[in-house]
Chains A and B, each alone.
Chain A
Amino acid sequence: MTDNTRHSVQINPEKCIGCVHCMIACPTKAIRIKNGKALIIDELCIDCGECLRFCPQDAVESMTTSFSDLKAFPYKVVIPATVLYGQFDNTTLPNEILFALRRVGFDYVYELSTICELNNTALEMYLATHPKPRPFISSTCPVVIRLIQRRFPSLCEHIVPIEPPRENAAKILRANLPRMTKVPASNIGIFHITPCPAKMVSINHPASMEKSYLDGAISIRDIFKTIYQTLRQSKEDTIMAHLFPETIFSGTGVGTALSGGETRGLKNHRTVAVSGVRDTIRVLNQVELGLLKDVDLLECTVCPDGCIGGPLTVENRYLAKSRILRLVSIMGERTVVDSSDMNLLYHKDFLSFHHPIAPLESPPLDADPAQAISKANRRNEIFQRLPRKDCGACGAPDCRTLADDIVRGLAALDDCPFAKKEET
């Protein structure tokens, strides 16, 4: 059986009509149309979710945690991404959303912005004590990690070895909840609410630890309606949320939902923030060529404008962005993280990776160098026979990729209806 947890998206063959939208949109050319259905090539997919955005048939499904999966855990804990706060109208405050999550059935709701701020502070400490290499690259977006492992192997050592906030929050909860609640550890399920399917891969197959501290991730798309209805049905909760302002929010932390959220607070360092998958690939190439050595920290998020533009969000990202900015300004720049707590956690290595991230390179055209050269020549000859229409009729995203598939034995020249036949 194939391991269907390897990737975070799956094509539903019932719904897929074999159009070429996802195949053309894929930034790593990981999709082919075979027998009238889209097919994802595991080794090339980086879980960015572009296919999910572009599918007009709704046939690309995210492999995130379903509500029925939650039943396995008697005590349910949820850690919503701060992106969630931008999905509702301006009058719905974060505290009300957290209240609604309790009413929906979560036993414990953990607010993430404080940990986001904590991570920013940890980043700052790490940069200050590690002069090399430059630039460091932040570890928050799991797609960036995959991209580096697969396409920019030399940059693995540039990734800041600090776990992202969602993992550190879950780690803190694992360490404390059994004692605080008297619930046995095995009964506690901890779930993230996520704007992207990629978190699922980082949970099922983490790159920097043996096992994730999270049990799953619920899509914002899936849970939005439930939260929305709960908010409408239980107006008295709103009042309660106002009367129990027990949660401390960090403005800096909430701001990490946007591109630049991790770099904004780093006053003593030179930083660059890039968002969008194509610009991320471009800047990572520049780093690999040694062109950004004067930058201390590079923040890359593959979604447009950062996680707020994640493929599983529901709200228009410009509106969502403006709401997050409004929250950040209401909450202010006040620091909520105690620096001595922070120091302690940092120096106990509580926030660090268990192990470094290793490259996951795709194989060359051939293991034998001379054979690889012949195949590259052959690929160019095949390309000459193709019309350069890049129409996708062959089931590959463009003519060059078809030529590549042919030399790798994955396709045939006949797949192209316009190919010049081989001379015999």
Chain B
Amino acid sequence: MKGKKRKIKTINIDVDKCVGCMACEVICSAFHSSPKYSSNNPARSRIRVIRDPIADIYVPVYAGEYAVAECAGRDKYIIDGKEYDECAFCRASCPSRDLFKEPDSGLPLKCDMCESDPAQEIPLCVKWCLNEALIYEEREEEIEEEVKQEDLEIGLEALANKYGLNNIKDVIERLSESKKG
């Protein structure tokens, strides 16, 4: 599969331009509700703004991969005289925090670049960030394509980590039994 061209989509974040409005969270959560836009709840958003107004810290973070365990040591960063927790920049849905998890199920969330049919012109968080703290960029790159882990798989893996693989298997068996009846 070598040498295949793929569109790389990135969102560049300019923390200096963020005004902390959370509009990005609003639109992301609304877009991912089902049916689309039928509800709104920033806790479900795949972008979260780490916000500490008094310390003047505003870091929009995108939900990335799911992490089974939290990191061992955690550092502090001092940038421009402001002290950031290392986690402030981390994209993982991780056991140490409630960020990037569905509030009811605890299932991990991941930014999917607003995948939809028809496709969105630009990611919606970018569209709603009128202050241009989020800038969308597309470029072509030759890459080695990986098999993409599907949402379902990510979800199941998380559940397995939480409840144990055997428990999950049992539940699925029971469910399929009852469906048959």
Asked if A and B bind, the verdict is no
B residues adjacent to A (C-beta < 8 A): none
